[in-house]
Amino acid sequence: MYQEDTISAVTTPLGLGAVGIVRLSGPRSLAIAEQMFRSAGGKGLGAYPVRTMAYGTVRDEDGSVVDEVLCVYMKAPHSYTAEDVVEFQCHGGPQSLRRILALTWRYGARAAEPGEYTRRAFLNGRIDLVQAEAVMDIINAKSAAALKSAVQQQEGVLSRKLKAVRKALKDVIVHLEAVIDYPEEDIEEVTYPEVAGAIGKALAETDRLLQGAHTGLILKEGLRTAIVGRPNVGKSSLLNTLLREDRALVSEYAGTTRDVIEEQLVIGGVPILLADTAGIRDTEDYVEQMGVARSRALLEKAELVLVVVDAHGALTADDEAILAAAEGKDCLVALNKADLGVDPALRQRLEQRFGRDHVLAVSAKTGAGAEELEKWLQEFVYGSEGYVGDGVYLQNERQTDLLRRARENLADAAAGAREHLPYDCLTIDVDAALSLMGEITGETVRDEIINEIFARFCVGK
Q: How far is CA 332 from the centre of its chain?
A: 25
pLDDT confidence tier of residue 258, bands split at 50, 70 and 90? very low
| 63-119: pLDDT as tens digits | 899 999 999 999 999 999 999 999 999 999 999 999 999 999 999 999 999 999 999
pLDDT for position 432: 95
Region 50-69 average pLDDT:
94
- CATH 1.20.120.430 range(s) for the chain read 132-212+394-442
User: In what helix (H) or strand (E) does residue 310 lie, and over which residues does it extend?
Assistant: strand 304-310
457, 120 in Cβ contact below 8 A?
no
Mean pLDDT of the chain, nearest integer: 86
pLDDT at 391: 66
* Phi and psi, residue 400, nearest 5°: -65, -45
Name the CATH superfamily housing domain 132-212+394-442: tRNA modification GTPase MnmE domain 2 (1.20.120.430)
Starting at the earlier edge strand, list the strands of the sheet with 85-91: 37-39, 54-59, 65-74, 85-91, 19-25, 7-10, 110-111
- How far separated are the first and last CA of the chain, in Å rounded? 18
The predicted-structure confidence for 160-182, as pLDDT tens digits, reads as follows 999 999 999 998 888 888 767 65
Stretch(es) of the chain classified as CATH 3.30.1360.120: 7-127
Mean pLDDT over residues 57-62, rounded? 92
Residue 439: enclosing H or E segment and its boundaries?
helix 423-441
pLDDT on residue 60: 92
What's the predicted TM-score (pTM) here? 0.80
The partner residues of 224 in beta bridges, in order of sequence, read: 273
Contacts of 296 (CB under 8 A, 6+ apart): 280, 325
Nearest by Cα to 227 from 265, 268, 255, 261: 261
Q: Boundaries of CATH 3.40.50.300 in the chain?
A: 218-382
Distance CA 175, CA 375 (A): 50
- The pLDDT, as a whole number, for residue 278 is 57
Domain at 7-127, CATH from 1.20.1260.10, 3.30.1360.120, 3.40.50.620, 1.10.3720.10: 3.30.1360.120
pLDDT at residue 21 tops 90: yes
* Cβ density class 407-443: b for 16+ within 10 Å, e for less: bebbbbbbebbeeebebeebbebbbbbbbbbbbbbbe
- pLDDT higher at 446 or 246: 446
pLDDT of residue 253: 37
Class of domain 218-382: alpha beta
Closest among 128, 148, 126, 127 to 137, alpha carbons compared: 148
Each residue's pLDDT tens digit, 191-219: 888 888 999 999 999 999 998 888 888 88
* SS3 per-residue string spanning 331-390: EEEEEECHHHCCCHHHHHHHHHHHCHHHEEECCCCCCCCHHHHHHHHHHHHHCCCCCCCC
Least confident interval from 239-248, 275-284, 358-367, 422-431: 275-284
Query: What is the average per-residue pLDDT within 291-309?
Result: 78
Q: Are 362 and 334 in contact (CB under 8 A)?
A: yes
For residue 280, pLDDT over 60 is answered with: no
